[in-house]
Structure 1
Amino acid sequence: MSPSYLLALRPPPEIEARIVAFREAHGVRDAAAVPHITVKARSGLKDDLRWLELLPAVAAATPPIPVELLAPRVFPNGSALYLPARSPGSVRLHLALLDALRPARRFEYEGPQMTPHLTLALGRRDASLNALLDAAGQTFPQPLTFTATELVWMRKPGPGGAYQPVQAWPLSGGAAT
């Protein structure tokens, strides 16, 4: 099976450590092992990697992005427990990536209606996300804020694997780097 890719914003180490500690305390092991906010899902990110050459320009044209992670929620379809991300800048980056990459097909959640979020746990048959929701509410009672400064390319080797960072480009908003 071939790898899959996504483009993301990463929280700073102190927030990442809190999220990783929560996941470890609750035995969560899934593809979201490295905390991130996806700004471009797999559509159009093909194995030929030609799309990589477009990313430095998009990142350079994007200023650092303020992010506020809100109280935990579960998606209505039960697919994930997550921290919603209040971040108009991440949606703008998502739209800029769609414009630059022009994927032949898009997922239904791509576009201006994209819901920026940081996944705490993916839904599985053997896990109760509602029980985890209570624990997450106690662990993350206040919003977490940070400014994302890089666009990160992440790769998952195949089914059962976790997305890992491969390369990052600074968000500089047109400033010289």
Structure 2
Amino acid sequence: MSVVSFIWLRLFDAKNGPVNALLHALGLPVDINWLTDHRFVWWSVGFVMVLFLAGLQEIPTDHYEAAKIDGANAWHRFLHITLPGLSSVMKIQIFYQIINCLKLFGQVQIMTGGGPGDSTNTMIRYIYVTGFKKDMFGLAVAQSMVFCFIMLLIAVVQFKITDRKDG
């Protein structure tokens, strides 16, 4: 993760990165802050897309053919075939992404150090700063226990939701 973070840091540097240089060459005059603007989400998108692609490939094509013969338009096919067919992938992905966001540390530490200000700080980095930068190990342990409880609670909710039988 460290190497990927350094590569992304250099590629998407707002002032000297090759991505913004390419955009300038194409005529866009603005420097885009790719790594500090909250509107740009890129981490783990590839993995999510692979899982959704696998989920799409599991939906039988004869369902789409039958719906088309019955006169269903593209929206109805999406609403009544594709979405229900992807429901198990979506349930797992929602919780997977929540857990990934909660345990995010390396990328933030390397790329932004929690800044500007504390705008990119995460729960794990906050615990790290409390324990190792502020030397408040007791408080960091307490924060870690609360974090562990939150993760267990999310795991229980995920288990209950994904364990239900579709009826």
Q: What is the TM-score normalised by the length of structure 2?
A: 0.25
Larger radius of gyration: 2
Higher strand share: 1
Higher helix share: 2
